[in-house]
Amino acid sequence: MTSPASPVLSLVEDLIRRPSVTPEDEGCQAVLVARLSAAGFVCETIASGGVVNLWARRGTTAPLAIFAGHTDVVPPGPRDQWRTDPFVPTITDGKLYGRGAADMKSSIAAFVVAAEEFVAAHPDHTGSIGLLITSDEEGPATDGTVKVCELLVARDQKPDFCIVGEPTSATAFGDTIKNGRRGSMSGKLTVKGKQGHVAYPEKARNPIHLVAPALAELATTVWDNGNEYFPPTTFQVSNFHSGTGATNVVPGDAVIDFNFRFSTESTADGLKARVQELLDRHGLDTQIAWSLSGLPFLTPKGTLCAALTDAIAAETGVTAELSTTGGTSDGRFIAQICPQVVEFGPINATIHQINECIAIADLDPLKNIYRRTLQTLLAAQP
């Protein structure tokens, strides 16, 4: 159980009080800098495009184990629907309410206190500890984690291990570790036809009719079979726009928005090529505007997964399962420079919702899991 005097609880309450809606940080990172500096971390603020990022490191040698997270939160929505003010941390029935309680200010507080406790117990620890914190995860994610990763590459300071504090637990705290995420790529397909009168179809070319067979084939194509960690790649149409609104006009074009969620068995370029080949085979006059929002990443069973799984079991008695389900996270950027990246955090049942909350009883165990994992990765005795 987390005691009322828990440093994790005190810190997360302080963070929730700060209305850090993307891309604002509202002083959250300054609070972290003060604490981490006192623990011997060298802290650096990296600003880009109105976004503030924090890179903190203690130690100069390998291995470099880092925690990553975000101080920004999504807007609270209608405040009159919250049982309490979303930016006034409130404890009711053993739960802490407030925007960011689960996603992901509790994880950040647990990171910081875990690092403080580890350093206090092991002031001469081997390797290095880092924290990468951004205020641009819930938004465009163009000036946040990706910018810090670029800087670390330029400095040749690539991490060896990374835990992203996303709320991954599903039904019981500790039940799920995300050891990868599917890639996400969208396309805006324009199919060109010829506008005309519906009574004279021979003088028109209906793009809806033309694309229908190709669209049916796209929807039923097996893109890959997935693997031990990933389900098969999926294709979904999200929007279909065509026509003038009149019932007697054949449209001149059709615009179709679609998305791939793809596994490591497929590549972005490979999917693009297969789509274009299919459309060409159907004899369509098309244009596609592609948008790649994230590449897939995977951390197979190994050092980091084992260390985190063991820490969860020791602290909670729960055997965590590895999963790659869900959307994208900043892990997609870190995985480009770090060989082992996983996500682990509290129960995600209320994230982005009215009355977001976290069980008070999970706060100290979360911190202890992070600390135990650090001890294993940096070969320190408990």
pTM for the full predicted model: 0.90
Burial of 175 (0-12, 13-18, 19+ CB in 10 A): middle
Task: Report the pLDDT value the prediction gives residue 3, as an integer from 0 to 100.
Answer: 57
Domain boundary among 266, 294, 322: 294
On whether both 27 and 100 belong to a single domain, the answer is yes
Regarding whether 247 and 187 lie in a shared domain, the answer is yes
Q: Which residues are the active-site residues?
A: 72, 137
Asked if residue 85 and residue 146 are part of one domain, the reply reads: yes
Residues 30 and 148 in one domain: yes
Domain boundary among 243, 259, 294: 294
**Which residues form the domain of 261?**
183-294
103 appears as a binding residue in the annotation: yes
User: Is 321 part of any known ligand binding site?
Assistant: no
pLDDT score, position 381: 66
In this structure, what CATH number is given to the domain that contains residue 260? Answer: 3.30.70.360
- Tokens 């997360």: give the residue: 12
* Sheet bearing 64-70, strands edge to edge: 42-48, 51-58, 128-134, 64-70, 161-164, 340-343, 176-178, 321-323
In a shared domain, residues 341 and 266 = no
Radius of gyration of the chain (CA): 24
Q: Does residue 91 fall inside a structural domain?
A: yes
Work out how many domains the chain is built from and give that number.
2
What does the pLDDT read at residue 105? 98
Q: Among 294, 314, 344, where does a domain finish?
A: 294
In a domain, 275, yes or no: yes
288 and 302 both lie in a single domain: no
Given the structure tokens 């067979």, which residue do they identify?
213
Could you tell me if residue 12 is inside a domain?
yes
DSSP H/E element including 280: helix 268-281
Ligand-binding site membership of 352 (annotated): yes
Residues 28, 72: one domain?
yes
- Per residue of the chain (382 residues), what is the pLDDT tens digit? 555 579 999 999 999 999 999 999 999 999 999 999 999 999 999 999 999 999 999 999 999 999 999 999 999 999 999 999 999 999 999 999 999 999 999 999 999 999 999 999 999 999 999 999 999 999 999 999 999 999 999 999 999 999 999 999 999 999 999 999 999 999 999 999 999 999 999 999 999 999 999 999 999 999 999 999 999 999 999 999 999 999 999 999 999 999 999 999 999 999 999 999 999 999 999 999 999 988 999 999 999 999 999 999 999 999 999 999 888 899 999 999 999 999 999 999 999 999 999 999 999 999 999 999 999 999 876 6
Query: How far is Cα 330 from Cα 311, in angstroms, rounded to an integer?
Result: 23
Tell me how far apart the alpha carbons of residues 12 and 58 are, in angstroms, rounded to a whole number. 22
